[in-house]
Chains A and B, each alone.
Chain A
Amino acid sequence: MKSFKFDYIILPFVGIALCIAIWAIIAGKPITKVSIDDFGDKVTKTVRVGLSEDLPSPTEAWAASKLYVTQPLAKRGELDQGMLRFTWLSLKLVVQGYAIALLIGTPIGFMLGLSPAFAKMFDPIIQILRPVSPLAWLPLGMVLFLSAKFTVPGMGEYTASDLAAIFTIAVCSMWPTVLNTAVGVRAVPQDFLNVAKVLKLSRSKTLFKVLLPATLPYMFTGFRLSLGIAWLVIVAAEMLTGRPGVGGFLWQQYNALSYSHIILCILTIGVVGYVLDRLMSVVERRFKTI
């Protein structure tokens, strides 16, 4: 439906403006009170009033965040960097965990889809592990890699907290890939398999020429969901390990009572997540084989 010209540009801005307006109404405002104390001196006292008095208003949030946005690549300290720098640090971690998730998840999905015995064996475990929160996996990762510390040439040094974070991202984001791949393999039309049978394609040829292309759309749906979860997990991982990154910054600023930066971090996480999802959907469409 098209209600008026350029509605697809104008309406989203109207929506955003509405949300900011609600935020402004809820947010607290500073009020300066002047009173005379017992000694007869003038005392000025600033208090915040409003529905949620400690929530910074949009203008306050912007004023506090300006530095991080306008100098996105600045580095003033380990946990005081520009937003793009933080995003880059977080993305680096996400990409590593996500890559491991895909590398492990896709073959597992194929085996689940191809072998009923394998599916019966591991499906219960997968269903049990799938809903476990990233907050629960992280301590396990810390324990697993407690004494691990090594350097990968070109990638830098990995400590226990890095490895635990990557482990958590990989474990949490693996499941959509595993399950979607399995569903995709099971959904390959029998006709395609019959073609492979009649032509006597070898096992590997059947896999790469028939099964894999037929499963690709399902796999990419899984990849896309996995990427969403991987980005979701990063905040939890960085919070608990105290690593520099968007999530780490968020947690530190909360502890430092700098509430404006929390909003900045939330918006950054949201925008990056949205961009990642868009990119993935472009890739997904590119690989639409059926």
Chain B
Amino acid sequence: MPFLELHNVSKRYGSTEVLRDVNLSIEEGEFVAIVGYSGAGKTTLISMIASLLKPDSGTVKLRGEIITEPSPERGIVFQNYSLLPWLNVAENVALAVDQVFPTWSAEQRRAQVDKYLAMVNLTPARGKLPRELSGGMRQRVSVARALAAEPKILLLDEPLGALDALTRATLQDEIVRIWEQDRRTVVLITNDVDEGIMTAGRIIPLSAGPGATLGPSVAVDIARPRERKALNSDPAFKRVRKDVIEYLLGPGGRQKTVVKRKLTLPDLLPEDLNEPRTLFGAKRTARRRSEEKLEAVEVA
């Protein structure tokens, strides 16, 4: 029995179908990256795993049980950090710890907060407010908050999307390092294929919307720890990259549709100067030859 299983999950917003028949199964301890176009429905997908959104059809199961309510056992790191700006770093993490471990003593909870702040290297910033931190630091607090609740599965929704390339690389390494400590199940959503290859054990491409669905999964059989510099010449790296990108640009790419639309041609007949001017304003305008043509346009 897979740890997390999505069966024929579909979701539509109004008349646009965002996700169609998404099937996904993830084993315990796996690190899976879902790579796709922006706007394809990646966040919708992970919101449904977190039960922040309900699928229109299909089921989401965790350990064989259908899940409908959000819960701290599915910890999520949001794209835009979502730290509460009036709480400092430690308080933000403590909010989660206090909620998940209400029976613990105050010292135990404090130790838990400190442990995870240390894990993301933020012990010196524990008293700071989120607005005093850089983007990378905020995202680390967000990761610490999710981890401190000791979730069974960690959902990362484009956690590094808003960061610069160098900070991104450091944080990717950090995420892998943290994952290797206890090998919790992780689902990483990203639009960067290389980020998936650097971190994940398996990459699943999400086709372009509307009606996006998951493509064939590609195993990343590159030994850990993955060395960023060595990776570029690694044949396995090249193969995985090619497989994912070929799917995203090929069968999973944007479908082009041909739309016929009316085209009104510009009027070229000049005004007739022989016609007399009327009293109320000029009636002597250019004469319309309303000529219309049909035109075929490719819409991406």
Most interface-central of B76, B82, B86 (chain A CB within 10 A): B86
Is the CB–CB distance between A210 and B50 below 8 Å? no
A285 at the B interface (CB under 8 A): no
A36 at the B interface (CB under 8 A): no
A24 to B140, CA, bound (A): 67
CB distance from A157 to the nearest CB of B (A): 43
A290 at the B interface (CB under 8 A): yes
Select A213's contact among B69, B75, B86, beta carbons within 8 Å. B86
A200-B70, A200-B72 are contacts. A195–B84 as well, Cβ < 8 Å?
yes
Chain B residues with CB under 8 A of A209: 84, 95
Select A289's contact among B50, B74, B85, beta carbons within 8 Å. B85
B96 at the A interface (CB under 8 A): yes
A191 at the B interface (CB under 8 A): yes
A195 to B76, CA, bound (A): 9
B172 at the A interface (CB under 8 A): no
Chain B residues with CB under 8 A of A214: 84, 86
Chain B residues with CB under 8 A of A189: 82
A189 to B99, CA, bound (A): 21
Chain B residues with CB under 8 A of A197: 52, 70
Chain A residues with CB under 8 A of B78: 191, 194-195
A22 at the B interface (CB under 8 A): no
Is the CB–CB distance between B84 and A201 below 8 Å? no
A191 to B76, CA, bound (A): 11
Select B100's contact among A192, A199, A216, beta carbons within 8 Å. A199
Chain A residues with CB under 8 A of B99: 199-201, 205
Is the CB–CB distance between A194 and B100 below 8 Å? no
Is the CB–CB distance between A191 and B82 below 8 Å? yes
- Interface range for A: 10 to 19
Q: Among residues 79 to 114 in chain B, which have CB atoms less than 8 Å away from a CB atom of chain A?
A: 80, 82, 84-86, 95-96, 99-100
Is the CB–CB distance between A198 and B71 below 8 Å? yes
Is the CB–CB distance between A210 and B149 below 8 Å? no
Q: Among residues 182 to 230 in chain B, which have CB atoms less than 8 Å away from a CB atom of chain A?
A: none
| Nearest B-chain residue to A289, judged by Cβ | B86
A191-B78, A209-B95 are contacts. A198–B72 as well, Cβ < 8 Å?
yes
Select B82's contact among A192, A200, A205, A289, beta carbons within 8 Å. A192
Is the CB–CB distance between B85 and A199 below 8 Å? no
Write the A250-289 contact mask toward B (1 if CB under 8 angstroms, else 0).
0000000000000000000000000000000000000001
| Nearest A-chain residue to B50, judged by Cβ | A198
A191-B78, A194-B52 are contacts. A199–B84 as well, Cβ < 8 Å?
no
CB distance from B115 to the nearest CB of A (A): 18
Select B71's contact among A191, A200, A213, beta carbons within 8 Å. A200
A189 to B82, CA, bound (A): 9
A214 to B82, CA, bound (A): 12
Chain A residues with CB under 8 A of B50: 198
CB distance from B70 to the nearest CB of A (A): 4
Q: Among residues 43 to 84 in chain B, which have CB atoms less than 8 Å away from a CB atom of chain A?
A: 50, 52, 69-72, 74-76, 78, 80, 82, 84
Chain A residues with CB under 8 A of B85: 289-290
Chain B residues with CB under 8 A of A198: 50, 52, 70-72, 74-76
A289 to B75, CA, bound (A): 25
CB distance from B147 to the nearest CB of A (A): 13
CB distance from B153 to the nearest CB of A (A): 12
CB distance from A287 to the nearest CB of B (A): 9
CB distance from A284 to the nearest CB of B (A): 15
A195 to B80, CA, bound (A): 12
CB distance from B292 to the nearest CB of A (A): 45
CB distance from A96 to the nearest CB of B (A): 31
| Nearest B-chain residue to A205, judged by Cβ | B99
A63 to B109, CA, bound (A): 70
A197 to B53, CA, bound (A): 11
Q: Which residues of A contact B (CB under 8 A)?
A: 189, 191-192, 194-195, 197-201, 205, 209-210, 213-214, 216, 289-290
Interchain Cβ contacts under 8 Å between A and B, 29 examples? A191-B78, A191-B80, A192-B82, A192-B84, A194-B52, A194-B76, A197-B52, A198-B52, A198-B71, A198-B72, A198-B74, A198-B75, A199-B95, A199-B99, A199-B100, A200-B70, A200-B71, A200-B72, A201-B99, A205-B99, A209-B84, A209-B95, A213-B84, A213-B86, A214-B84, A216-B86, A289-B86, A290-B85, A290-B86
The 3 closest A-B pairs by CB, nearest first: A289-B86, A191-B82, A213-B86
Q: Which residues of B contact A (CB under 8 A)?
A: 50, 52, 69-72, 74-76, 78, 80, 82, 84-86, 95-96, 99-100, 149
Q: A194-B76, A198-B72, A214-B84 are in contact. List 12 more A-B contacts (CB 8 A).
A: A192-B84, A194-B52, A194-B70, A198-B52, A198-B75, A198-B76, A199-B149, A200-B70, A200-B72, A213-B84, A213-B86, A214-B86
